[in-house]
Structure 1
Amino acid sequence: MKNIPIHQLKDRTDMGMELWRYNLGDMPADDEVMGIHRDDHYIFFVVDGGDASLLIDFEKVTFTRNTLYYILPGQVHQAIDNERAAGWFLAVDASLIPADYREVFEGMLQIQQPCQLDGALMQQSTTLLNLLGQRYNASKTGAFNTPVLLSLLQSFLGIAASCYADACQTAIKVSRPVLLSQQFKRLLVQYMVTVKSPSAYADMLNVSESYLNESLKKTTGLPVSYWILNEVVLEAKRLLYYSSENVKEIAHKLGYEGHTYFSRLFKKSVGLTPLAFRAQYRK
């Protein structure tokens, strides 16, 4: 595999969303769906029976009954034992997700964890998804079908965002350090290849470098420089494990002219050289 495949929602639908129900024992017809890939869109799961696991950026995440989970655009993932679960799969273009909901979904610097739903929230979620499914599979020419479909989608997304906001103890009106950390995360994902200076991110956010550092330490316990390197190293791990690009190609793709310097940074962070990491994880 030269590059990590990117699944694009527009290749499967022109509606900006895709929804289907999966049952215990169901398996995708196409092996590529099960394979390692990224998506250019959000994916939401609501599990109402059994259990399943995903490998997301080298972390195994397990879902049990009555859990909600989402995958961000760009996260590398692979299904594990998903035939043991029942529930709903919903893919959504980022443009359909309101900015305040995205603040919640994208605000975590660490990998998001499954959110356990109580009885009332589970019922509300599944009711909305059932209605959404009926509208999604209905005639697309029906009067007001698209506005109704989008209204149901927004209702589900609002429940999902509120569940994660409550679980993370971050209300929609978040504190300044939390908001700043979320804004930094979005900038980091966007500019990680070209911008690696803490002061540059502080300038983009119109704050001092010391205040940005203070905010990140308050919300995560770690400074700006750690998270910049962490994002670079995470992407390097993805490319080393899932692609056949050599270290020089990966270093260049991540914004480093010299692969020797990149290799030193990687080893300092991971404890292994890039080639040793590739050899260890591809056993």
Structure 2
Amino acid sequence: MRSRKQILHFDDINHSHEAMGFSGRTDLPDFHIYTLEETYPSTRKVMPPYTLRFYCLLLLEENSQDAVIELNTRRMEGPSNTISFQAPGHVSAWVRGEAQQGFLLYFQPEFLSRHVISPMEEFPFFRPTESSMLPLTGTEKIALRDHFLRLERTFKNSLHPYRVPMLQAMLLALLFDCKGLYEDYCARQPSSSRSPSLSTQFLRLLEQHYLTRRTVQAYADLLHVTPNHLSHAISNEMGRNAYDLIVDRLLLEAKKLLSYTDLSVGEVANYLGFEEPTHFTRLFKRKLALTPLEYRHQATRERA
């Protein structure tokens, strides 16, 4: 019997290294940082779709043109001078180039728990609904590289008595620096705006409940506001319709399942909570001008 295509999942940082063929290991269960140059020659050439329980930051300084990165439904070929952000639940896949330079940083959610910060809520680039690949100017890349270098040096100094709290503080500094760069990047985009608290709360709830709550009324109830107030606030703050954001989050999950698994359209519809596959197909086609099967075939051709 043919085995089903599944999205790989890793709970443990060292386990993910083993699966990717990387010989390096971390002595801290919740944190690791290393250079891309260290991954040669052991790391596998092609990594199929996978998700992580933890967070990942990838700083690419230089990249060879044969490299490919896929993050959720976005694909970049030969990327350089970028930083990308992978959060728990994001689907990633890649083809390794032969001349990559940069840094990889992993941290478990618990690593920052003492600081009472939710990375998904505080840092928008970790949300699946936001852009998770950020282009960098030369000056921005140098500034971020300095952050990564300090983190790497501290990580390797395993005998320092304050190694872990120093890593936590430096990681927070890096993330907040990235947040500033991200907000500057979004401000330069034609339709973007900064997201005040109501939008932040809405997006956090959407990420928690998109499989079970499909109406603006449902989220308004959770936020203790009227649907009209929520819709108006989201439109003003984000330039997007609240219902469209709900549907888009659901369809993002559908696109990941159609692209990276061999689940049938009916099985995808059932997982997403549709009573009938035809309801899912109609919504998918209305929003994307493609049926789910047409989208799957298109995604397969693009990945070939």
Give me the TM-score of the superposition, normalised by structure 1. 0.82
SS of the residue corresponding to residue 3 of structure 1 reads: coil
Q: 1:112 aligns with which of 115, 119, 132?
A: 132
Counterparts of 1:27 and 1:223 in 2: how far apart (Å)? 48
Question: How far 1:4 moved relative to its partner?
Answer: 1.6
Q: Aligned runs of 1:158-173 on 2, under 5 Å?
A: 158-169=176-187
Aligned residue pair count: 276
Deviation for aligned residue 1:24: 10
Q: Tell me if the contact between 2:33 and 2:155 (Cα under 8 Å) persists in the aligned partners.
A: yes
Assess if the C-alpha contact under 8 Å between 2:134 and 2:182 holds in 1: no
Normalised to the residue count of structure 2, the TM-score between the two structures is 0.77
Q: Give CA deviations for 1:1-41 in whole Å, capped at 9, x if unaligned.
A: 44322222355455312211013994662467x22112222
2:255 paired residue number: 237
In structure 2, the partner of 1:36 is 49
Secondary structure at 1:114 match in 2: strand
Q: Percent identity?
A: 25
Contact 1:47 1:88 in 2 (8 A): yes
Q: Hey, what does 2:76 align to over in structure 1? A: 61
Query: Which residues in structure 2 correspond to 1:89-108 (within 5 Å)?
Result: 89-97=104-112, 98-99=117-118, 102-106=122-126
Residues 130 and 2 of structure 1: CA distance in aligned 2, closer, same or farther (over 3 Å): same
Aligned to 2:229: 211
For 1:143, what is the secondary structure of its paired residue? Answer: coil
Instruction: Label 1:233 to 1:111 Cα distance change in 2 as closer, same or farther (>3 A).
Output: same
Q: Do 2:58 and 2:84's aligned partners in 1 also have CA atoms closer than 8 Å?
A: yes
Question: What's 1:262 paired with?
Answer: 280
Shift of 1:191: 0.6
Residue by residue, what CA displacement relative to the aligned partner does 1:194-242 show, whole Å, maximum 9, x if unpaired? 1111111111122221122122322443311111111111111211221
Q: Tell me the residue number matched to 1:178.
A: 196
| 1:21 and 2:35 aligned | yes
> Aligned to 1:74, what secondary structure does the other structure show?
coil
Quick one: distance in 1 between partners of 2:143 and 2:268? 45
1:131 aligns with 2:150: yes
Task: Note the C-alpha offset of 1:261.
Answer: 1.7
| Distance in 1 (alpha carbons) for counterparts of 2:294 and 2:194 | 41
Residue of structure 1 in register with 2:294 after alignment: 276
SS of 1:83's equivalent in the other structure is coil
Specify which structure has the bigger relative contact order, considering alpha-carbon pairs within 8 angstroms and separated by 6 or more residues.
Answer: 1
User: In 2, Cα distance between the equivalents of 1:248 and 1:103?
Assistant: 35
Cα distance, 1:150 vs structure 2: 2.1
Aligned 8 A contact 2:49 2:91 in 1: yes
